[in-house]
Every structure is written in C-alpha cells, then in structure tokens.
Amino acid sequence: MLYIVATPIGNLNEITLRAIDVLRSVDVIAAEDTRHTAVLLNKYGITTRTVAYHKFNEKSSVGGLVEMLENGKDVAVVSDAGMPTVSDPGRVIIDAAVERGLEYTVVSGACAAVNALVLSGLDTRAFTVLGFLPEKNVDRQRFVEPYKNVPCTLVFYSAVHDIRKDLAFLYETFGAREVAVCREMTKKFETVTRGRLGDELDVTEKGEFAIVVAGQTLRAFDGISVEDHIKSYVDGGESLRDAVKKVAADRRVAKSEIYKIAVGMKDRGETDGE
C-alpha cells in the first residue's frame, strides 16, 4: 500500500494518531527532506527507514518506490509540512500508482491552505489554491490571468524573501481586494494581518506565509462605466483624488489604472478638482 501522509505545518503536536501508526508500520518513508522529517520521527520514537523524495529526484526515484510497492512493501510519502502534492512533491508517484493499478490512500491531516482560508475570515464556500507564484513576472502574469475574474477566494503561498514582491504583484493584478496574510500558522508567533491589497500592511518578514485574496464579485456598479463611476463620487462631493481611491477599491483594481482614466476625463473637461 502507498500512503500519502499529511504532517504538521508548524506545531509538531498537530499530527493524527493514524499518521503516527502508519509512519511506524510502513517499510520505508519517502521524505521531501530526510533531515527535516527526522525531527518529527524522533519526537514520536519512529525508527522507520527514510529515503529522499523531493522535486529534484521525483522522476528518478519513483521507479524504486514503485518496485517496492509491487513487491508487497508499504511506502509512506511525506513532505516537509502539510499534505504532499499540494505545492509539494507526490504527484509523480500517484500518477505511477494509478497507471499500474497499485493501491494508495490518503492519511488526513494539516494543509496550510485550509488553515489560512479559515484564519483569513474571507469567503470559504469556494476557493482555489494556487500555491507559489512563478519567479518571472511574465510567467506570473500568465499563471494568474485565468483567475482574475473568478468569484472564489484565492490562496497563495509565499516565502519570506518574496512576500513584499508577491503582495505588490497581487495588488497590480487584482487591485484593492480584501486580503489576509497568515504567518507561521500553528506556531507560537502565528499572526494574521487583514486589510486590502495596496495597503501598507504591517507584516513581519519572518517565517512562512499564506496570502488569501478575496474573489471577484458581482457588484451594483458593474453595469456602469469607470467614467460614470468616478463622476458619481465627484457629484456626491468627493475630490477627484478621493473618487479615484474609492473607485479603485470598489472595483478591486489598481489605483493607477483608475487614475489614468481620471486624468483623461480632467483633460477633456469632463470633471473638475484634484
């Protein structure tokens, strides 16, 4: 049997009894980082042999693991934290198991995306886990484009050295949507910072992050042009500058995008003010 085993995302006490039993009983544990997994195994007195199974050797090592399974051995796959295959290795061996008709099952447990979704306070009825953004900007744009107008909550992962860059990119892409930045989940210094993309969010740049972004929604002003939307605020007594801010927030788009339209309106004499 192949077991896909969820492990703690932070606090080592957050592991199921079944996961402990499985890790003790299998013949081998395929781990993303054997040294990292050793900390968990040592805590629970688990002495099962471990082998490396990470994104750099997934394809080359899967053959040996499949051979074990075909010879009647039990194999557990774990990642450094959370559920394997969710932005972590595991997909390759599952594909091989399905192709060869080998049995596999999932041992339930933590998943950072689900924790972040609930902690965010945003809509949990429908969500999409997008994981880590690609490194290159052109790849990022291509990656997120299909999700710009979907109505479900979006969950991203971010490393400490990318968090500011990722938040800036998400603001440029999605505008001033509601956002929650979840840091060091289940650990002593777990924090959740809520606000809107584009805000000066007070985020401590330490640890691991999940960014939860509100989905697109149908709004009362979707049937009117941006120009008319701006005019409605100006006619209501707002300055042009404040109107731009409010329209950007309403439409969940970057303020710079609305500002360009407002400047054009002012140049054409369609609105007054600064």
How many domains is the chain partitioned into structurally? 3
| Residue 157 in domain | yes
**Which residue range(s) make up the domain with 178?**
112-213
139 and 228 in a single domain? The answer is: no
Average pLDDT for the chain: 91
| Residue 229 in domain | yes
**Assigned token pair, 240:** 């042009």
76 and 54 in a single domain? The answer is: yes
138 and 198 in a single domain? The answer is: yes
> What residues contact 104, with CB distance under 8 A and at least 6 apart?
1, 2, 3, 4, 94, 97
Q: What is the pLDDT of residue 116?
A: 97
Q: What is the pLDDT of residue 248?
A: 84
Q: What is the pLDDT of residue 111?
A: 95
Q: Which of 40-49, 52-61, 147-156, 165-174 has the largest mean confidence?
A: 40-49
195 and 116 in a single domain? The answer is: yes
Report angle CA 258, 264, 269 to the nearest 5 degrees.
125
Tell which of 60, 76, 107 closes a domain: 107
**Assigned token pair, 157:** 């992962």
193 and 236 in a single domain? The answer is: no
Percent of residues, the chain, with pLDDT higher than 90: 69
Cβ atoms within 10 A of the Cβ of 119, count? Answer: 17
Bigger pLDDT: 271 vs 33: 33
| Residue 274 in domain | no
156 and 118 in a single domain? The answer is: yes
Tell which of 107, 132, 158 closes a domain: 107
Cα 115 to Cα 111: distance, rounded to the nearest angstrom: 7
Q: What is the pLDDT of residue 224?
A: 81
Bigger pLDDT: 4 vs 252: 4
Mark 183-216 as b/e (b = at least 16 C-beta within 10 Å): bbbbeeeebebbebbbeebebeeebbbbbbbbbb
Q: Is 88 within 8 Å of 5 (Cβ atoms)?
A: no
Q: How confident is the model at residue 273 (pLDDT cuts 50, 70, 90)?
A: low
pLDDT exceeds cutoff 80 at 252:
no
98 and 7 in a single domain? The answer is: yes
pLDDT digits (tens, 9 = 90+) for 94-147: 999 999 999 999 999 999 999 999 999 999 999 999 999 999 999 999 999 999
164 and 194 in a single domain? The answer is: yes
Report angle CA 72, 78, 83 to the nearest 5 degrees.
120
126 and 203 in a single domain? The answer is: yes
Q: What is the pLDDT of residue 11?
A: 95
**Assigned token pair, 152:** 């479900």
pLDDT exceeds cutoff 70 at 218:
no
49 and 116 in a single domain? The answer is: no
Cα 147 to Cα 216: distance, rounded to the nearest angstrom: 9
Tell which of 58, 75, 107 closes a domain: 107
Report angle CA 72, 75, 78 to the nearest 5 degrees.
170
102 and 7 in a single domain? The answer is: yes
pTM above 0.85, yes or no: no
Residue owning tokens 């969820």: 6
Cβ atoms within 10 A of the Cβ of 228, count? Answer: 11
Q: Which of 63-67, 145-149, 231-235 has the largest mean confidence?
A: 63-67
Supply φ then ψ for residue 250, to 5 degrees: -60, -45
CATH code (residue 42): 3.40.1010.10
Percent of residues, the chain, with pLDDT higher than 70: 97
CATH code (residue 144): 3.30.950.10
Residue type, 238: E
| Residue 273 in domain | no
Bigger pLDDT: 232 vs 270: 232
Q: What is the pLDDT of residue 219?
A: 60
